[in-house]
Amino acid sequence: MTTPYYLLEEEKLRRNLALIRDVADRSGAEIILAFKAFALWKTFPIFREYISATTASSPDEARLALEEFGAPAHTYSPAYTEHDFPEILRCSSHITFNSLSQFHRFKPTPALSVREGQWGGAPSLGLRVNPEYSEIETELYNPCAPGSRFGVLAEDLPAELPSALEGFHIHCHCESSAENFARTLVHIEEKFSRWFPQLKWINFGGGHLMTRKDYNVELLVETLRGFHARYPHLRMILEPGSAFAWQTGHLVASVVDVVENHGIRTAILDVSFTCHMPDCLEMPYTPEVRGAMASPNPSEGGEPPFSPPSEGAGEAYRLGGNSCLSGDFMGYWQFDHELQVGEEVIFEDMIHYTTVKTNMFNGISHPAIGMLHLDGSLEILRQFSYDDYRSRMD
């Protein structure tokens, strides 16, 4: 394949899926895929071998769930509108509202559900609640920060919930550990358990990074089992995204040019941070580059390493994107050799929150998306052309 391209590895994907299914089997929780992190629908037949549902945040994601995944979605959006709600209704088995006002405005009547519902049932309705406790340190990803627009606070809930509400949805994790979840659950129960007898299900959201090497899977299973023992009538749902696609593939780029300015050397690539790896700039976090070392030591969630490395620390480069955004670069990385034009540079772990977030700013060509199958064969899932750029503005 010619660069640039994302390459998803089936073996690694199946390894994550098997772990997630095992957690679901042993904990009694249903674990569903959040499309916001990963929605390469051509891989859904593989997912269907391990999980049975997905979660959507928009009419299009909900439609993808129904039509491509083959099961109606668990849908949550902070902002349903009259225009999009009929499609949400058609494609969802569960619909979570962000506020009581959204619930009262859109709660479907049984008659409407039957008329609109294509999958043959009325959706179960839920409400997002905000536990005002989260151990997420990056504000951009903290849904429980003071003033957050997500979910209803305990103090604003009526003692008696509307009878049509059957579930609570709580999302307050991001790349979090089982210890984060165990501690957070104490706060969730403290604030919300008085309403549990009125509910049928509870969705603990995403951010449970159970496929990360150091994740304490046993603690997660134990924590969920403990919760189930305390509230056996509540069906537990988890909806991670990242955990499914975590470390399942990479983005392969090539060096196009090397430029120097005041002693700062930048290798310009045929990919862009802002277009193809947006979280690197947004979060920001420093991606791993195969065969190179970030300098100084990158701290996840901290500032990217912008100061030049010390003398004699190898060949140090900023890596620069091919867009016109001045800040479309990161660095430094140290390589053990001088980079040559045409040489490949591989960004590790570039499958989650990439292909769902990429854009065509500057008309820059979008990396192809490939999949390496178990038998070693390479399938090109998608290649992009001028028509894709043009048709966005048809």
Ligand X SMILES: Cc1ncc(COP(=O)(O)O)c(C=O)c1O
Residues 205, 249, 305, 320: which binds ligand X (CB under 6 A)?
A: 205
Q: Measured at CB, which residue is nearest to ligand X?
A: 206
Is 66 a binder of ligand X (CB under 6 A)?
no
Is 206 a binder of ligand X (CB under 6 A)?
yes
Q: Angle at Cα 275 formed by Cα 17 and Cα 136, nearest 5°?
A: 55
CB count in 10 Å sphere of residue 310: 10
Q: Name the DSSP letter for residue 81.
A: -
When the beta carbons of 240 and 367 are compared against ligand X, the nearer one is 240
Distance CA 47, CA 17 (A): 7
Residues 4, 241, 304, 367: which binds ligand X (CB under 6 A)?
A: 241
Distance CA 237, CA 2 (A): 41
Is 61 a binder of ligand X (CB under 6 A)?
no
CA dihedral 258, 261, 265, 270 (to 10 degrees): -40
Is 34 a binder of ligand X (CB under 6 A)?
yes
Is 151 a binder of ligand X (CB under 6 A)?
no
CA dist 1 to 43, 323, 356, Å? 19, 22, 21
Distance CA 155, CA 55 (A): 28
Question: Minimum distance between the CB of residue 380 and ligand X, rounded to whole angstroms?
Answer: 26
Residues 31, 36, 90, 266: which binds ligand X (CB under 6 A)?
A: 36
Q: Single out the segment in contact with ligand X by CB under 6 A; choices: 31-39, 100-108, 223-231, 368-376.
A: 31-39
Residues 9, 10, 87, 239: which binds ligand X (CB under 6 A)?
A: 239
Q: What's the distance, CA 287 to chain centroid?
A: 16
When the beta carbons of 240 and 298 are compared against ligand X, the nearer one is 240
When the beta carbons of 243 and 255 are compared against ligand X, the nearer one is 243
Is 370 a binder of ligand X (CB under 6 A)?
no
For residue 333, the cross-strand partners are 294, 317
Reference 123, options 105, 136, 107; nearest CA is: 107
Is 94 a binder of ligand X (CB under 6 A)?
no
Reference 50, options 75, 9, 15; nearest CA is: 15
Is 320 a binder of ligand X (CB under 6 A)?
no
Query: Is the preceding omega at residue 108 within 30 degrees of 0, hence cis?
Result: no
Residues 89, 127, 174, 275: which binds ligand X (CB under 6 A)?
A: 174
Q: Single out the segment in contact with ligand X by CB under 6 A; choices: 213-221, 238-246, 267-275, 295-303.
A: 238-246
Is 240 a binder of ligand X (CB under 6 A)?
yes
* Binding stretches for ligand X (CB under 6 A): 34, 36-37, 76, 171, 174, 205-207, 239-243
